[in-house]
Amino acid sequence: MSLLSTRGLSKNFDGLQAVSNVDFDLPEGQIRALIGPNGAGKTTFVSLLCGRITPSSGSVSFDGRDISKLPAHKRINLGMAYTFQITSVFANLSVSENVSLAARKRVRGPSVMTVVQQVLDKVGLADRLDQIAGDLSYGHQRLLEIAMGLAQAPRLLILDEPTQGLADSEITAFKSLIRDLSSTTTILLIEHNMSVVMETADIITVLNFGEVLAEGSPAEIHANAEVQTAYLGTG
């Protein structure tokens, strides 16, 4: 059974069809990449999954439960965590305080600092425990945001452009991190960096004009003529 699925999911903005009749299934334990050209509807689709906006029609289900009308904070309580395209860290708090706030949604007492240390180790920020988050580089703020998501031990982690602002060496480490996380967490990755997508995703879903253009393995998507024309720029 799919951990996350949509049926006929659509969203209109003043007559503009941003997402149109999308059927989507994400099995537990999979790394799924969501790609597509600018304006393809990716951000709107993810906002529908997260509960930041409500659908015009269709449904979203998580672990077999219809969550279409559930607000975002209640979806988090079910085991969904997500990072935004724009960082949402608390700039005036330290790195450890940011992660502690996220961890306290799940654990209490001394366990909090154990979780903080574990997730900062995972994302490569353990040496910046006491640094003020607002003083971090943009790329490191993205990694902190991922750590905050991981602190909640999510069943589903949705990452929106996580490698934006990362140096090449950090992107290499990020690929390893994603592969490591996939043993315990289902991952939906919205990403423009095609080397990240092709090297980490089990399956890729391509959106174009708010509709699913194609879906398949990295090799199948790379060889798909429609995808090449619409997005990969080799058509």
Walk me through the domains of the chain, giving residue ranges and CATH numbers: 2-79+154-232 (3.40.50.300), 90-153 (no CATH)
pLDDT classification of 87: cutoffs 50, 70, 90: low
Query: How far is the C-alpha of 164 from the C-alpha of 156, rounded, in Å?
Result: 21
58 or 77, which is more confident: 58
Query: How far is the C-alpha of 63 from the C-alpha of 4, rounded, in Å?
Result: 6
pLDDT classification of 93: cutoffs 50, 70, 90: very high
| Global pTM value | 0.91
- Provide mean pLDDT across the span 155-160: 94
pLDDT classification of 221: cutoffs 50, 70, 90: very high
pLDDT at 203: 98
- Provide mean pLDDT across the span 9-21: 93
- Provide mean pLDDT across the span 196-223: 95
pLDDT classification of 220: cutoffs 50, 70, 90: very high
**CA triple 38-5-23, angle to 5 deg:** 60
Sheet of strand 211-216: strand arrangement = 80-83, 156-160, 186-190, 31-35, 203-208, 211-216
pLDDT higher than 50, residue 235: no
**Which residues contact residue 11 at a Cβ distance below 8 angstroms, ignoring those fewer than 6 apart?**
17, 18, 19, 44, 48, 53, 55, 56, 210
Provide the percentage of residues in the chain whose pLDDT is more than 70: 97
pLDDT classification of 208: cutoffs 50, 70, 90: very high
Instruction: Tell me the C-alpha to C-alpha distance, in Å, between residue 197 and each of 1, 25, 43, 208.
Output: 24, 18, 17, 17
- Provide mean pLDDT across the span 79-91: 80
- The DSSP code for 130 is T
Contact between residue 148 and residue 89 where contact means Cβ atoms under 8 Å apart: yes
pLDDT classification of 9: cutoffs 50, 70, 90: very high
Neighbour tally for 234: CB within 10 Å: 9
- Provide mean pLDDT across the span 100-123: 92
